[in-house]
Structure 1
Amino acid sequence: MPAKTFTADDAQSANIQLAEADKGGQAVHDLVTAYRANRRTGSANSKTRGEVRGNNKKIYKQKGTGNARHGDKRAPIFVGGGVVFGPRPRDYSKKVPKSVRKLALRRVLGDLVREGAVKTVPSFSIDGKTKSFIAAVTAEVEPKKVLIVAKAFDDKTYLAARNVQWAELRTADSLNVEELLHANSIILVEDALETLAKRTA
C-alpha cells in the first residue's frame, strides 16, 4: 500500500476545490454547531402546576390563620409543586445551506492538505485480520486519530477495523467536516477523489 502525500496540485488535478486559509472559518463553525445541535434530543421536560399530581383544594382558609394566602398545593413555591419556566420538549435542529456546507468542506480539506496530513493510496483492502489492518495503517501514518476515506469498503476490511479505536473508515459520500477536524491523519483512497470533487464543486 504505497502512500504519497496529497498536495494542493494533486487536488487541482482531481478537480477538488480547496478554500484559502482565510476563507470559510465561519462556515466551519456554523456547520459544526449544527451537527451538535442536531444530535440533541430536546426531550427535557418539567411539569407545570397544571400537570403535577394533586387536586385544586385550597390548603387552608383564606383568613384567620396568620399565614399567607394560598390556593392549592400545586403552586410552584411548594415542594412537589409545578415548575415555572422549566424545560419543555423542543427541536434544536439547525439547517445549513448547501453552499455553506461546501465551503466548510473546502476549508477543512484545504487546511489538512496544507498541513501535509492527507496521504493517498491506490487501494485499501484488508483480509479481515485486525493485525493486518494495524500493520497496513501504521506503515503510512502515526496510529493516532486516523481517518480512512474510500468510495466503499468490503466487509472484511470493516471487520478488520472495527476493534481499532484510533482509526475510522468513512465513505466519501458520508464524510463530514466534524470527522475531518477530529482526525490527525487522513488516508485517502484514489477511488474517493471523484466523489470529493463533486462534493466540493
Structure 2
Amino acid sequence: MATVTIFDQDKKQVGEREVADAIFNTEVKEYLLHDMVRYQLAARRQGTAAVKNRSAVAGGSKKPYRQKGTGNARQGTVRAPHFVGGGVAFGPQPRSYAFKLNRKVKRAALCSALSARYQAEKMTVIKEFNLDSISTKAFAALISKFELEGALVVIDQADPKVELSARNLRNVKVLRAEGVNVYDILKYPNLVLTDAAVSEIEGAMEK
C-alpha cells in the first residue's frame, strides 16, 4: 500500500500511515476527470435564459393589412419574428443542463483526482488543526509553512475556527470530507488533508 507522511502544524514529521491504493494510488484516467468536471459545472448552470416567442409578445392577431392589393407581401400578424417587436424564433427557453453519470464513474473520477495529487506529490497530510481562535493571519502563516501556493484543505468534520479563518484567503478553500469533489481538487494545485479526513474518505469510498 502507498504511504504518506503525517505532519503537525509546524511541519514536523509525527508519523506515517498507509493509504488505500485503490483510492490514492490508482491509474489516473483523464477522460473520467473531464466527464466529472463537465457534470459538476453543468449541474451548476441556472438554465433560466428565456425570450418571448410569438405567442408571448404583446400585439393582436389581426392581419396588419388586407391580403391583396397593397403590393406588399401577405402578412398574418405583427407578432411574427420578422416584425420589429415580434416574437423570437427558436430562442432560449428555461432548461436544465444537468446530465446523468453513473455512480461508479463518479467514484472512479474522484479516485483519479486524489491519485493525481498523490502521485504528483501535491498531497499533504496534517495530524490535526489546532487554532486558538478565528484568525486569517494565523491560518495563512500555517499554510505558508508548507510553502503551498493555493490549496484545498479537507477536514473531517465541522470546525468553525478553521473554516472561518480560511474564508478570506484568496487561494485557499476548506471543505469537509463529505463534500470533497473532483472540480475543487483539480482547481487548487495542492491538496491538504487531516489524518481523520483521510480515514473518512477511505471509509466512504469503500462502502
Instruction: Detail structure 1 runs of 4+ shifted over 6 Å in the superposition.
Output: none
The answer for unaligned runs of 5 or more in structure 1 is none
Query: What does residue range 92-171 of structure 1 map to in structure 2 within 5 Å?
Result: 92-126=97-131, 127-142=133-148, 144-171=149-176
Q: Provide the aligned C-alpha RMSD in A.
A: 1.9
CA distance in 2, matches of 1:172, 1:4: 24
For these two proteins, the number of residue pairs brought into alignment is 194
State the 1:176 CA deviation: 0.5
Higher strand residue share = 2
Aligned to 1:185: 190
Letter in 2 for 1:35: Q
For residues 75 and 23 of structure 2, the distance between their equivalents in structure 1, rounded to whole angstroms, comes to 70
- Identity between Structure 1 and Structure 2 (%): 34
Q: TM-score, normalised by structure 1?
A: 0.89
- Distance change (3 Å), C-alpha of 1:75 and 1:62: same
Deviation at 1:2, TM superposition (A): 4.3
Q: Pick closer, same or farther for the CA change 1:140–1:180 going to 2, 3 Å.
A: same
TM-score, normalised relative to structure 2: 0.86
| 1:57-107 deviation digits (Å, cap 9, x = unpaired) | 211111111111111111111011111111111111112211111100111
- The higher relative CO (CA closer than 8 Å, separation ≥ 6) is in 1
Gaps of 5+ in 2: 1-8
Q: Select 1:12's aligned residue among 11, 15, 20.
A: 20
Residue 68 (structure 2) pairs with residue 60 (structure 1): no
Which amino acid is the alignment partner of residue 146 of structure 2? E
Residue 75 (str. 1) matches residue 80 (str. 2): yes
Displacement of 1:156 after TM fit?
A: 2.0
List per-residue Cα deviations over 1:151-178 (Å, max 9, x = no partner).
0242222222121111111111101000
Once the two structures are superposed, residues 13-52 of structure 1 have per-residue CA deviations (whole angstroms, 9 ceiling, x without a partner) of 8x7453213xx32221111111111111111112111111
Q: Which amino acid in structure 2 is aligned with residue 151 of structure 1?
A: D
Distance, in Å, in 2 between the alignment partners of 1:4 and 1:183 is 24
